[in-house]
Amino acid sequence: MSDKLTIGRYELIEEIGRGAMSVVYLAKDPDIGRSLAIKLLKHDLVEEDEYRNLFLREARAAGGLSHPGIVTIYDVGIWQNRPYIAMELLEGQHLDDYLVEHGSFSISEAIDLAQQLTQALDYAHSKGIVHRDIKPENILVLDDGKRFKITDFGIARIEHQFLEGESEEEQAKVMGTPAYMSPEQISGNETTFKTDLYSLGVILYKITKGELPFQAANYGAMMQAVLQQNPKPLNAYSEQGFIWQSIIFRLLQKNPDLRYSRTEELVNELEALANEIEEENKGIGGIRFVSMRARWAISLSSLVLVVMVLGMIWVYNKQNTLMNQLVYDYGNSMAQIISSETAEPLLLDEDVALQAITVDIVENSEILYLSIRDKDELVQSSSTLDQVGKLYRPLDDNRLIGKKAGSRIYENLEDLPQEAFIFDTPISFQDKQIGTASIALGRSNLVSATRSSLLTMIIWMFVIMLAVFSGVYWLANKFTQRINKTRQVIKDIRAHGQSDIIKIDSHDEVGRLQQEVNDLTHKLAGLTKTQHMGGGEIDPTLSDLTEIDKTILLDYSGEANSGESNPNSDKSGSTSSDSDDSNNNNPKE
């Protein structure tokens, strides 16, 4: 007899999820060897006959759904008086987790998600099934954001039935935030497929803007916000962006009658917007548009940054060299003074006096370390007492960096309490070397001054960069406004054959371009009138037209040809031409 735990015929393998209303297990169907997920409802209330029967009806109805965008339900049943659902096992993550990792969607990505979810909902709604709990936790993201599936059809209604009469705390525990609930759900009114559309609108708003349309501190405040507040506009900067915003805001209408009357209508609008974006991308060759304002500002700011960084490095190195030189001079002077003061005691072997001088110098100056040794390298006095009477041993981390006036200069970065320069200076008496003094001067003040100077230069660099970026962006913005005005006129000409005249503010290169566009507008306006001429020759005043301009007169040519085939028409045409000629010669005209 098998000791495996089973629910129905399904063998449970391990628990893979747990929520307020259910536990999810990884299971296996031994009959066909298929892995699947078992969702076992755990709340006591669903064990009552009324709720259990309701659950079974809903789950079985949802089990009849077969759509690529809906998690498939294989089986429903009762196990130990507790309803369960056997469903498709998928490897993916919930939409809310995916948003945390990847951030908000682009419009194209958001439309792709919206199309997949809307098609799934349209299918379910056509079968008379409403989800009632569309939220990120019930959306599975598959194939790294390429596919999306809706889960938990058939469970939401039993959850809502259970919540009736429960406390606000219990409702919050089971349902979480009401941010995705429609106003009619919160108000306790009848829910239809438009409830799913509202919840979908909340999801689309969040994936686009990166935040919920309504913000509140607690459960009750969120309910009030959903009922009373209006969402903030999205960050729409294009024609398609505004269309996308209008779709979302229509979904978020508080009155269900103002939302889409059919889910299929939303499917069609999303498809039209997706096609428009695809066509526009084809039109610009798939090249990503970069604003001239941003490109100019970033380019010039980058150039300024490179120049300033190079200059800052040069100034820093030059300043560091000069400051080090000052320290070398100061240290060498100190070494000479100390050598002079310690020469006589060292010569007379007055060790006590020599040690007293050493201690006094170290305590009353910025010297970190002082050691006096005789010509045999025996230490006679030192600020480190355990070295006295021993052969002198240089510090391990000493690194020779130069010589000055007979002194050897070392750099030590580790052996002393702070980074230091060490001056090894000979002690002479009557031009005869009788010993050596080793003096360590700390670099902390030098390092602090250098870092302070560097920080000041960095701050000034960013201030200058900000000023350059702002100035260039402002100038480029003024420039692009004029370009966009010209572009709009060209679009109007292309769409309507005419446009308003551009007011030229300055006579520069852009001004010349705008003047050319104005001339084109005047010429097109004149050519429009010539389309009504008769079958005579083209007016000599139009002889300077280019071949492209003359294509506008094709209708005229067609009329002339048709006139030749009909004698009556020819006569009429001659009359018309004569009439036009007479009108053209009329001084009043």
- Residue 266 covered by a domain: yes
pLDDT of residue 468: 87
Each residue's pLDDT tens digit, 34-52: 999 998 876 555 556 666 6
3-state secondary structure of 29: strand
What was the pLDDT predicted at 542?
Answer: 46
Q: What's the pLDDT band for 220 if we cut at 50, 70, 90?
A: confident
Q: Note the pLDDT tens digit of each residue in 514-549.
A: 888 888 877 766 654 443 333 344 455 545 544 434
* Domain-ending residue, one of 422, 449, 476: 449
| Same domain membership, residue 270 and residue 323 | no
**139-142: strand order across its sheet:** 93-94, 139-142, 147-150
| Contacts with 456 (C-beta within 8 Å, 6 or more apart), sequence order | none
Amino acid at 405: A
Distance of CA 563 to the CA centre of its chain: 65
Give residue 322's pLDDT: 82
Give CA–CA dist 166/181, Å, rounded.
17
Report how far residue 211's alpha carbon sits from residue 194's, in angstroms, rounded to the nearest whole number: 22
Give 549-570 pLDDT, tens digit per residue.
443 443 333 444 444 444 344 4
pLDDT of residue 589: 33
Q: Among the listed ranges 1-15, 131-145, 227-241, 281-295, which one has the minimum average pLDDT value?
A: 281-295
CATH number at residue 63: 3.30.200.20
Q: Answer yes or no: is pLDDT of 103 > 80.
A: yes
Q: What CATH number is given to the structural domain containing 393?
A: 3.30.450.20
Q: Examine residue 348 and state whether it is found in any structural domain, yes or no.
A: yes
SS3 531: coil
Give 484-492's long-range contacts (Cβ < 8 A, gap of 24+): 485/514, 486/510, 486/513, 486/514, 486/517, 489/517, 489/521, 490/517
Among all chains, which residue has been given the structure tokens 């965008």? 69
Residue 126 belongs to some domain of the structure: yes
Residue 316 in this model has a pLDDT that exceeds 60: yes
Residue 508 has pLDDT above 70, yes or no: yes
Q: Which residue has the tokens 């990505």?
A: 109
Alpha-carbon gap, residue 202 to 171, rounded angstroms: 20
How far is residue 120's CA from residue 67's CA, in Å, rounded to a whole number?
A: 7
Are the C-beta atoms of residues 532 and 556 closer than 8 Å to each other? Answer: no
Please give the structure tokens belonging to residue 306.
């490179």
Residues in the chain: 589
Query: 94 vs 320, which has greater pLDDT?
Result: 94
pLDDT at 258: 94
CA 476 to chain centre: 24
74: number of Cβ within 10 Å = 16
* Domain of residue 137, residue span: 97-283
Q: Is residue 271 part of a domain?
A: yes
Residues 332, 432 within the same domain? yes
Q: State the Cα angle at 251 between 246 and 254, rounded to 5°.
A: 115
Helices (H), 42-182: 49-63, 95-102, 107-126, 156-163, 168-175
Residue 586: what pLDDT?
41
Say which amino acid occupies 77. G
Beta-carbon-side half-sphere exposure of residue 405 (alpha carbons within 13 Å): 12
Residue range 246-274: average pLDDT? 94
State the burial class of residue 383 (Cβ atoms within 10 Å of its Cβ: 0-12, 13-18, 19+). buried
Mean pLDDT to the nearest integer, 262-278: 92
* Tens-digit pLDDT profile for residues 167-202: 455 444 444 468 999 999 888 888 899 999 999 999
The answer to whether residue 297 is domain-embedded is: no
pLDDT of the residue at 576: 37
Same domain, 380 and 413: yes
Residue 141 contacts residue 94 (beta carbons within 8 Å): yes
Quote the tokens at residue 446. 């030098």
Q: Domain check: are 158 and 70 in the same one?
A: no
Specify the CATH number for the domain of residue 269: 1.10.510.10
On whether the CB atoms of residues 122 and 263 are closer than 8 A, the answer is: yes
Instruction: Count Cβ atoms within 10 A of the Cβ of residue 218 and give its class: 0-12 exposed, 13-18 middle, 19 or more buried.
Output: exposed
Name the one residue in this structure whose structure tokens are 């569309």. 134
Fill in the DSSP letter of residue 144: G
pLDDT reported for residue 45: 53
Say what percent of the chain tops pLDDT 70.
Answer: 78
Task: Provide mean pLDDT across the span 379-383.
Answer: 86
pLDDT one-digit tens code per residue, 391-444: 888 888 888 888 877 788 888 888 888 888 888 888 888 888 888 888 888 877
Q: Determine the pLDDT at residue 312.
A: 85
Q: Do residues 264 and 329 both lie within one domain? A: no
What are the tens digits of pLDDT across the range 317-375? 888 888 777 777 887 788 888 888 888 888 888 888 888 888 888 876 678 888 888 88
The pLDDT value given to residue 311: 87
Domain membership flag for residue 541: no
Instruction: Looking at the structure, tell me whether residues 185 and 327 fall in a common domain.
Output: no
Q: What percent of the chain has pLDDT over 90?
A: 23
Closest Cα partner for 304 from 546, 467, 172? 467
Domain check: are 367 and 388 in the same one? yes
Q: pLDDT-derived band of residue 3, with 50, 70 and 90 as boundaries?
A: low
Q: What residues pair up with 15 in beta bridges, in sequence order?
A: 25
Quote the CA–CA distance of 231 and 237 in Å, as a whole number. 18
Question: Are 583 and 557 spatial neighbours (Cβ–Cβ below 8 Å)?
Answer: no
| Residue 544 CB contacts under 8 Å (≥ 6 apart), including other chains | none
Q: What is the pLDDT of residue 227?
A: 93
Query: Could you tell me if 397 and 412 are in contact, meaning their C-beta atoms sit under 8 angstroms apart?
Result: yes
Tokens 């919930």 -> residue: 94
In this predicted structure, what is the pLDDT of residue 304?
Answer: 86
292 pLDDT above the threshold of 80: no
Cα dihedral 283, 285, 287, 293, rounded to 10, equals -40
235 pLDDT exceeds 80?
Answer: no
Check whether residue 126 and residue 218 sit in a common domain. yes
Whether 141 and 108 share a structural domain:
yes
> What pLDDT is recorded for position 318?
85
As a whole number of angstroms, the distance between CA 447 and CA 442 comes to 10
pLDDT at site 109: 93
* pLDDT on residue 93: 92
Long-range Cβ pairs for the range 352-358 (8 Å, 24+) = 354/380, 354/381, 355/380, 355/381, 355/388, 357/381, 358/382, 358/383
Distance of CA 237 to the CA centre of its chain: 15
Structure tokens belonging to residue 414: 């580790």
Range among 215-224, 254-263, 442-451, 569-578 with highest mean pLDDT value: 254-263
Does 123 lie in the same domain as 250?
Answer: yes
Domain for residue 546, yes or no?
no
pLDDT greater at residue 142 or residue 402: 142
Is residue 417 domain-shared with residue 438, that is, in the same domain? Answer: yes
Q: How many domains does the chain have?
A: 3
Q: 373 - beta bridge partners?
A: 379, 436
Q: Model confidence over 388-398: pLDDT tens digits?
A: 888 888 888 88
Task: State the average pLDDT over residues 499-528.
Answer: 77
Q: Using 50, 70 and 90 to split pLDDT, how confident is the model at 253?
A: very high
pLDDT computed for residue 497 by the predictor: 61
Answer with the one of 283, 318, 351 that is the final residue of a domain.
283
* Residue 59 in this model has a pLDDT that exceeds 60: yes
Q: What is the mean pLDDT of the chain?
A: 78
237 and 344 co-located in one domain: no
In terms of phi and psi (left: phi > 0; alpha: psi -120 to 50; beta: otherwise), the region of 170 is alpha
**Helix, strand, coil percentages in the chain from 3-state DSSP, rounded to 5:** 55, 15, 30
Q: Is residue 583 part of a domain?
A: no
Model pLDDT, residue 495: 53
Domain boundary among 399, 417, 449: 449
